[in-house]
């Protein structure tokens, strides 16, 4: 009887100890894993920093094509574009590009040119336009463009408000080519350029870049003299 009791007691104690051992949580390895993660982060940090501070490779700007003079040896200003605007476009074509103007003037007759002109203003975009027709109330086409602050449009050779005078002269190839025999005006009218403006073409037709503090402050395309 006593032997059986002792045996049963030992068996129960063994079972209890096994149950307690089974319920104990496994030893935590988090600190070791955390240390390992911190070490990995520290190892990759210099690589991330090097990647972040690595200078970006910029693509070189494509060189501009050389200017080709027209048959009279002059700069073909009538083919020049400012943004998507070009001399000869109709009022409908311009409205598709810019929308309706903020201000539209009345038709006026210009004795100097013999044309009927209408002025459009896009003040918020920094654009003034002149449309002209040879007859009153006839369909008009774009004859002149002027840019002023805050205009962001650029010429087809990449010049806009804020460009430097040096950039203008490089883009439009100063010094000028000598005019061909019989040309009325030089392609780059150096005699019409001064500290306050660079004239590409002439007052009879061309581009005028107005310069303030060495930078372009305004652009005019068209004929300012007849």
Model confidence pLDDT, tens digit, residues 175-200: 544 444 444 444 444 457 788 998 88
Residue 7 has φ and ψ, to the nearest 5°, of -65, -40
Q: Looking at residues 26-41, what average pLDDT do you find?
A: 52
Q: Where are the domains of the chain?
A: 2-53, 77-222
Mapping DSSP to helix (H, G, I), strand (E, B) and coil, where does residue 6 land? helix
Q: Looking at residues 211-220, what average pLDDT do you find?
A: 97
- How much is the pLDDT for 57? 54
Separation of alpha carbons 149 and 218, rounded Å = 7
Instruction: Give the tokens for residue 150.
Output: 């805050």
Instruction: Find the helix or strand (DSSP H, E) in which 122 lies.
Output: strand 115-122
Separation of alpha carbons 117 and 131, rounded Å = 6
Other C-beta atoms closer than 10 Å to the C-beta of 204 total: 15
Separation of alpha carbons 44 and 53, rounded Å = 14
Mapping DSSP to helix (H, G, I), strand (E, B) and coil, where does residue 68 land? coil
Q: State CA 11 to chain mean position distance.
A: 87
Counted residue by residue, the chain has a size of 226
Check residues 185 and 94 and name the one with the higher pLDDT: 94
pTM: 0.68
Mapping DSSP to helix (H, G, I), strand (E, B) and coil, where does residue 71 land? coil
Query: What is the tens place of the pLDDT at every residue in 137-185?
Result: 899 999 999 999 999 999 999 999 999 999 998 998 865 444 444 444 4
Number of H helices, E strands in the chain: 4, 10
Which of 175, 178, 163, 170 has the alpha carbon at shortest distance from 210?
163
- How much is the pLDDT for 117? 96
């Amino acid at each position: 009887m006593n032997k059986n009791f002792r045996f049963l007691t030992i068996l129960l104690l063994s079972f209890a100890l096994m149950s307690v051992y089974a319920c104990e949580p496994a030893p935590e390895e988090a600190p070791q894993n955390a240390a390992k993660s911190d070490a990995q982060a520290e190892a990759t940090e210099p690589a991330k920093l090097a990647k972040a501070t690595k200078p970006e490779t910029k693509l070189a700007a494509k060189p501009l094509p050389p200017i080709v003079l027209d048959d009279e040896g002059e700069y073909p200003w009538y083919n020049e574009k400012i943004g998507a605007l070009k001399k000869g476009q109709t009022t409908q074509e311009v409205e598709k590009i810019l929308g309706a103007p903020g201000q539209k003037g009345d038709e006026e007759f210009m004795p100097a040119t013999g044309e009927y002109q209408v002025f459009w203003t896009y003040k918020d975009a920094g654009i003034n336009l002149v449309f002209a027709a040879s007859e009153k109330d006839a369909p008009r086409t774009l004859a002149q463009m002027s840019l002023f602050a805050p205009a962001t449009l650029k010429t087809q050779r990449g010049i806009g408000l804020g460009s430097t005078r040096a950039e203008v002269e490089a883009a439009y190839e100063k010094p000028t080519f000598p005019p061909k025999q019989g040309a009325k005006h030089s392609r780059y009218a150096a005699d019409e350029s001064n500290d306050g403006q660079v004239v590409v073409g002439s007052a009879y037709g061309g581009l005028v870049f107005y310069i303030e503090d060495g930078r372009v402050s305004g652009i005019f395309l068209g004929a300012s003299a007849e």
